[in-house]
Amino acid sequence: MRRFIQKALEKLGKMDIDQVRALIERTSEENDLLGMLLESMTDGIVVTDREHAVALINKAAERLIPLAFSDIMERVLWDCVADRGLADFFEEKLRAQEKVSDREFIFDGAPPRIVSVSILPLVRGGSAQGNVVHVEDVTEKRSKEARLRRAESLASLTTLAAGVAHEIKNPLGSMGIHLQLIQKKIAGKDCIDAKDIAQHLGVMGEEVDRLNRIVVDFLFAVKPMDTRLEEGDVNHVIEELIDFVKPELDQAGVTIETELSPTLPLLRLDARYIKQALLNLIKNAIAAMPGGGTLRVTTLRTGNEVHVRVSDTGTGIPKEIMDKIFEPYFTTKPFGTGLGLTIVFKIAKEHYGDIAVSSRMGEGTMFTIALPVPQTEKILIDYKGDRR
C-alpha cells in the first residue's frame, strides 16, 4: 500500500478530482482496515517515536497497561504509566535503546494479573524511527503451566515414593537379618564377646548410613528449590568447583582439562545449585573411569545460550538405557541412589535451561547443560536522519 501511495503522489499533479478522491478513499479504507486489525487484537501494541512519545496505542494495551490517565498520545510513555516498576522499566530500556523479550510483571488485583512485555525497534530504511512495545496477558498461561507442573510433580512424587520405598526395603532387610544373627548369638547368655557381634554391628552401621543417604537425596529431589537467580560468571563457578574436587580427581588418576570461553556474558544463576549439578556430573565421570582418564570441562556461547560441557573418556553409556538415565532411582552403580542425574535435570530446569547427553561405548560420555542468556542486547541501528 505504501508503494502504491508513493507512486500515486508522484503522479498527483496529473490527476483529476475523481482520481484524487479515489486515492483518498482507498487510503482511508486501508487505514480503517489496519485500525480494525489493531483494535481486534487481544495483545497490546504501543508505538513510540524517537523521543519515546506515544504515537499509537490499541485498546488491548490501554487495558493491560496500568495508565495514569486516559489521554496519553504524544506524551512520553513512562510518564503515562501508573505502576512505578513498569514505568522505570520503560524509561531504562527505551533510553538505552535495548531490545527486550518477554519481561514479566505482576499487577495487583483479584486475581493478580501477569503481563509479558517485549520491546522491539521500529525500523525504516535501516534506521530506528522509534519502538514497538508488545504486551501480552499471560495470567492464564502461567496458571495452566503451574497446574501442569503440580500434576507432573505429583506423578514424579509417586515414582519417587515407590523408588524410595524399594531402596529403603533393602538395607532394612539386611539390618533385620544381622539383628536376628546377633539375637541368636546372645540368646541365653549373660555376656558375649564383642568380637562375635562386631561384624554384624558394622554391617548395620553401614546400612544406617545408606538409609541416611537415600533419605537426604530423596528430600533434595522432592522439595522445591529456593533458587535465587542472580547475575554471575559461570566460569568463576566452575573454577571454584574444580579447585574443590582437584584432590579427588588426583586420587582417582583423572586429568582435568578446561576450555572456558573468556567472552561469556553474565548469566542469571544460583551458584550453589550449579555447583551441585556439575559436582554430580564430575562424580559420575570419575566413576566411569575406574582406571583413570581425562575429564574435560568447556564453556561456549551458542546463539542465545551458554553451553557448559562435562565430558569424560570413560566406559560410555549403552544406547538401550540412554532414555532412562534421568529417571528417578535408575542407576547402574551397585550403591547409587539413582537420583544424581535427576537432581542435575531438576537444577537445569530451575535455571530455565536444559541438559543433553551423548555417549559412545568405550569412548566416553559428554553432558551439556544449556543456560539461557538474558535478553538485554543493545539495538545496533543508528539513526541517520535529523535528531529533534
Between 20 and 42, the higher pLDDT residue:
42
Question: In terms of Cα–Cα distance, which of 237, 262, 325, 263 is closest to 288?
Answer: 325
CA gap 73, 71 in Å, rounded: 6
Packing angle, helices 139-186 and 194-222, rounded to 10 = 170
For residue 175, what pLDDT is reported? 86
- Residue 109: DSSP 8-state: S
Please give the average per-residue pLDDT across 148-161, as a whole number. Answer: 68
3-state helix, strand, coil in the chain (%, to 5): 50, 25, 30
Mean pLDDT lowest for which of 91-105, 153-167, 300-314? Answer: 153-167
Q: Which three cell numbers stand for residue 73?
A: 498520545
Amino acid, single-letter form, for residue 157: L
Distance CA 177, CA 344 (A): 35
Of 68-77, 94-103, 249-258, 371-380, give the lowest mean pLDDT range: 371-380
Calculate what percentage of the chain has a pLDDT beyond 90. 31
Strands of 49-157, DSSP E: 54-57, 100-107, 113-124, 127-137
Q: Name the helix (H) or strand (E) containing 10.
A: helix 2-10
CA distance 214 to 58: 57
Average pLDDT rounded to a whole number, residues 279-290: 91
Look at residue 378 in the predicted model and tell me its pLDDT. Answer: 41
Nearest of 323, 316, 225 to residue 274 by alpha carbon = 225
Residue 11: band (very low, low, confident or very high) from pLDDT cuts 50, 70, 90: low
What proportion of the chain, given as a percentage, has pLDDT over 70?
Answer: 82
Written as nine digits, the cell of 175 is 539390618
Residues 6+ apart with CB under 8 A from 164: 214, 215, 218, 329
More confident residue, 254 or 13: 254
Q: What is the pLDDT of residue 379?
A: 39
241 pLDDT exceeds 90? yes
217 vs 309, residue with greater confidence: 309
Grid-cell match 569424560, residue found: 312
Q: How many secondary structure helices (H) and strands (E) does the chain include?
A: 9, 12
- Which residue type sits at 336? G
pLDDT tens, 308-367?
999 999 988 888 887 777 766 556 565 555 677 888 888 898 898 999 888 888 889 999
Query: What is the model's pTM?
Result: 0.48
- Please choose, from the candidates 321, 335, 378, 327, the residue with its C-alpha nearest in 3D space to the C-alpha of residue 163: 327
Query: What are the tens digits of pLDDT across the range 81-95?
Result: 999 999 999 999 999
pLDDT digits (tens, 9 = 90+) for 25-45: 777 777 777 777 777 788 999
